[in-house]
Homo-oligomer: A and B are copies of this chain.
Amino acid sequence: MSPDDKRTMGLRERKKAKTMAAIQMHALRLFRELGYNATTVEQIAEAAEISPSTFFRYFPTKEDVLLRDNYDPVLVDAFEAQPSNLSPLQAVRQAMVSAIADMSADELTTMRERNQLIMTVPELRAAALNNLTQTMQLIAELVAKRTGREPDDAAVRTFAGAIIGVNISVMLYYAEHPDADFAGLLDEALSKLEAGLPL
């Protein structure tokens, strides 16, 4: 999380990190205050004291300012840290839950707000779901490696699909019930998947 060591970065890179953070911060604030669609890139640029051109150099799209995250590497680490006696499903479940458990209170708050905004605004939701297909592919690769199969093996793909689908359903529910415990919801949902989707 710490933006590398400050000594190892030149002034240029430090400034870049600062600019990026400023853009994200003002964008988030404006989105909250005015709504996502009502906020223009020009307004964000003005608030962050940069030109609109510069905004698009940092974030290829307006959506990106909200959607860019680094959960995938966190998930990878958490997954690979799981003991090998766990089944793939148990490992994914543990990895996801512990990745959330490792987050600070601030990070959790940010995540909740972000999720709420993303799942509420159709454009953002669409883009976020699209991103999840990458995570799905990632899970397929992780599980393939762990089980000695190919990532495009039918069982592996189906497994990854089910995991992502469950995540989507939890994210949607969580957006409408922000007071719930996200990790708890996810854990419960994945446990049901583990139990063979009892009904």
| A133 close to B143 (CB less than 8 A) | no
Report yes or no: B197 in contact with A155, Cβ–Cβ below 8 A: yes
**Complex alpha-carbon distance, A170 and B126, angstroms:** 19
A3 on the interface (CB 8 Å rule)? no
Q: How far is the CA of A158 from the CA of B195 in the complex (A)?
A: 12
Interface bracket on A: 35 or more
Binds B, one of A36-44, A73-81, A100-108, A161-169: A161-169
A52 interface residue (CB < 8 Å to B): no
In whole angstroms, what is the CA distance A192 to B145 when docked?
A: 20
Contact (Cβ within 8 A) B155 A165: no
Q: Does A156 touch B at the CB level, under 8 Å? A: yes
Q: Taking A161-B170, A165-B166, A199-B159 as contacts, is the C-beta distance between A154 and B193 under 8 angstroms?
A: no
A115-171 at interface with B (beta carbon < 8 Å)? 122, 125-127, 129-130, 132-133, 136, 143, 147, 149, 152, 154-170
Contact A158 B147 (CB under 8 A): no
Interface residues of chain A, those whose CB is within 8 Å of chain B, are 87-89, 122, 125-127, 129-130, 132-133, 136, 143, 147, 149, 152, 154-170, 172-173, 185, 188-189, 192-193, 196-199
Q: List 24 A-B contacts (CB under 8 A).
A: A88-B199, A122-B130, A125-B133, A129-B130, A129-B133, A136-B165, A136-B172, A147-B199, A154-B185, A154-B188, A154-B189, A155-B199, A156-B199, A157-B170, A158-B166, A158-B192, A161-B168, A161-B169, A161-B189, A162-B162, A162-B166, A162-B193, A163-B165, A196-B196
Query: Knowing that A133-B168, A158-B188, A164-B165 are A-B contacts, what are 19 other residue pairs whose CB atoms are under 8 Å apart, sorted by A's residue number?
Result: A87-B199, A129-B130, A154-B189, A155-B198, A156-B199, A157-B173, A158-B166, A158-B169, A159-B197, A161-B166, A161-B167, A161-B168, A162-B162, A162-B166, A162-B193, A163-B165, A165-B165, A165-B166, A165-B168
